[in-house]
Amino acid sequence: IPVAWNAYIEDHSTHKISDSWLDRVEEVVNYCLENDMYTIINIHWDGGWLENNCTSNKQIENNIKQHALWTQIAMHFRDYEENLLFAGTNEPNVENSTQMGVLNSYLQSFIDAVRSTGGNNIYRNLIIQGPSTDIYTTNELMHTLPIDWVEKRLMLEIHYYSPWNFCGMEQDESWGKMFYFWGNGYHFDNSNRNADWGEEDFVNSQFTLMKSKFINKDIPVILGEYGAIKRNLLTEAEQAAHEASRLYYLEYVTL
């Protein structure tokens, strides 16, 4: 459940969240839990106050806010059972080791805040995000994890929208063109919209990176987001081929 909190802060000196907003989030969480679903709540984009500011000049200010928000969220939900999980951020924009250090401090504030509230939060599974939740960047920059004094209750989150040309690109760019057809056996005859990179072997290599770096070291990895947009093409044949290709992509990444 992607949640924005910033717009519902009543007192910016203390970062007090509106009680009515916490109650509304709880209402939605309960919809999921009552249907036997594992449920994750996070601090999502939220205007980018954290995600666009993994920077040294914002580190102190944002850590205070991150700790205050997660203390309140965790207190509100601390009696919920283990099928409710917390995720500290969403897609924090990180491109270098300095920014990675700042992100780790934000994730540490998240963990510390949640654990300090007691109750079921002492043992709740917590999810931390790799830099930009990008597999390559996470593999290159995330060499250490924040500290959780509870063993084996921390997992890593990444997202997957590769190749972007197929998954989300909405117009041709100087660096590449849109793909409509992806995967072995799913290309369209003589089309210049067939994927020319990022297909099955690339998927395999990307997830192998996460297996080697984290899963083989007993750190679970969750794929928090993935997908490919549905396009509307000119001919029935192209449309059918695109939709079949899109379904194949989703199945391949899932399996």
Residue range 98-108, pLDDT digits in tens: 999 999 999 99
Alpha carbon distance 107, 156 (integer Å):
11
| Active-site choice (225, 236, 238, 251) | 225
Residue indicated by tokens 């916490």 = 22
Alpha carbon distance 91, 222 (integer Å):
14
Active-site residue 225, yes or no? yes
Residue range 180-213, pLDDT digits in tens: 999 999 999 999 999 999 999 999 999 999 999 9
Residue range 121-158, pLDDT digits in tens: 999 999 999 999 999 999 999 999 999 999 999 999 99
Q: How far is CA 104 from CA 31, 46, 69, 86, in A?
A: 32, 19, 17, 16
Active-site residue 91, yes or no? yes
| Active-site choice (91, 151, 170, 238) | 91
Alpha carbon distance 195, 163 (integer Å):
8
